[in-house]
Chain A
Amino acid sequence: MRGIININPEIRDAILESGGDDAIKCYSCGRCMAACPWNLIDDLDYTTYRFCQRIKLGAIVDSEAKEDIAADTDEVFRCIGCDSCRHECPRGVNLSDVLRAVRRILVDYDSYPAELKGVISRLYSSGNPLGESSAKRADWAKDLGIPHFDGTQEFVYFPCCLPAYDARLKLVAEATASLLTKAGISFGIIGEEEFCCGEAVRRVGAEKVFQSAVNNNTRVFQKFNVKNVITTSPHCFKTFQTDYPAFSDIQIMHVVQVLHQCLADGKLKPERPFKKKVVYHDPCTLGRQMGIYDQPRELLQSIPELNLVEVPVFNREFSVCCGAGAMGLWRDWPQDQRLVKIRTEQIFATGADVLCVACPYCLQMFEENFKSMNVDIEVMDISEILFSSLGQ
């Protein structure tokens, strides 16, 4: 209990100016707290509905005591931007944007979780959160005969950082490229000039680093006169549409949209049976935030003998986040405070053989957690399942 608070209009105004003006709409009904996946964890109360009120009074992260500041800051950086709260909010408050406004001020003053510093630094200097060399960004494609985009192809395929570099996720990029080739889609890749989309750094408040990503990708896309983009990651898919002003006349498509269209046009014909029980996990960004629920399911249902099941209740717009958003992938939460464990239990209860995802973050998060929890469920990207079902 903190006692009587001191109203500080200056803090309030600074947060509102940093993009937190949605806070004004909140009336503390608490539906956000009921919707927030953190509150599915035993003994953890994430009182999300208090944030907006405290911001309106300028009484957030306002203590002078070291322990109180640390506790408040940890709470501000806990939100992983899954948008469950906004979906439930009667006034549509975008709480993750409100918290991002607070984070922007704190990040400028070096007051954010230490485990994020290296990631942000690597992204800024290398163009990807792994710190890999940009010269290796197209290595995943070198044996596939994929051309460098030169304006003669219709689409740019933007694999995102993890599928470009991570050994497991490269398989997703390969499967996607192979599917696009098989469907006769004209596409190329940008390769080493590509830069991380920056969605995650924006969510944690590192706005200057995000702007460097925007500037870099905008320059490169304009240089090659890119008009159509296919992304593997829902995060690139979303941020290119909502946070890149210069991309307003570029068509950005997530790969499931393209594959769904190919299926409808008869360009892809899944023929080989996939005799497994598959559960589809709706990624927060693709589902709740971009409204894509049916296309991935229809793609899976087009595959012979695939038995598609749902996580009861917590599916589609009620899907529970894997915890990787807003750089959650790089956070070091205590073992008993991991959203991925909650979601793993829900998925395990379906009795599925395969977990199908459509987001590189989800794939990495689940695969690592399944290993640590000894869960015998295979994690596959939707492009991998679809590719395995194509005839020769």
Chain B
Amino acid sequence: MSLLDLLALDFMQRAMLAALLTGLAAPAIGTFLVQRRLALLGDGIGHVAVTGVALGLLTGTSPTWTAVVVAILGAVAIEVIREQGHTNGDVALALLFYGGLAGGVLVTGLAGQGAASLQAYLFGSVTSISGADVWFTLGLAVVVLAVTLGLLPQLFAVASDPDFAQVAGVRVRAYNLLVAVLAAVTVTVAMRTVGLLLVSALMVVPVAASQQLARSFRATIVGAMAVGGGAAVAGLLISAALSLLPSRPTVAPGPAIVLLALAMFAATWPLGVWLRHRRRVLAPFAAEEPVRHEPADIHPHQHGDDCGHPAVQHGDHVDYVHDGHRHAPHGEHYDEH
């Protein structure tokens, strides 16, 4: 069977649609988490959701629904603990990480199921996505996208400066809870494609990649959604393609998606470093007169547009930055500025 044959299959098409929506929704909400410096919140929720999945396996109800409920409860608990400030945010997260994971494994054991049945939820599994799951994913992802993009100005204000937002009449607590609930929903949406243990990566890594190049919040969130959507679809295809190899390996889509997103970060990071360096080097000097007229030492080099030395605006002229000196053309010679 070729990759094209595989793509023609119903379950593969369903999976692609689910992956695309997940890849768009997760970074959209992740941008606000990164802005609030809560990048690992998604991971905490993911661990709590493991218990939800296990409860579903134990009670025979759909693990997706129990995971949604438990993830939302966990997210609200994290938000409340964080807001009350009784425990440091990171310690509160850690408590839920370990409680959720241990509870999940324990309850799965009680349900008489081994680690294998959890595996599909921990790392994602394309083949396990049913038609109903896709509708579920589609609905939730659309809700997450509509709310995050629709309320972007409010969410941005709350995430960047809660005190200011509060005085401006924005209901900070309500919006923070909204972000927590949306993050929980996103985690469960992404559970089937990337898996609970890697879902946070899809919320954070595309943002990290996007913010290397972006200068505005809007550009960051749009770029992150592009990276996330692209990585999710391409990662899914890679894992499908790998399963066609003669040795028939089973590569879960989650790791492929996350590694692809990381590769995009690795690609944008040097570019971001270079852009930031360039911006810093070329930032104009304060438009102040030099302390005194001081001609540069004997200077055989002719500065110009393409001479290789950064030309930096200084008042009404440019200074050429040259081995720690600032050389400004002055008649036949250069001045030290």
The answer to whether A and B assemble together is no
Binding site for B on A (CB under 8 A): none
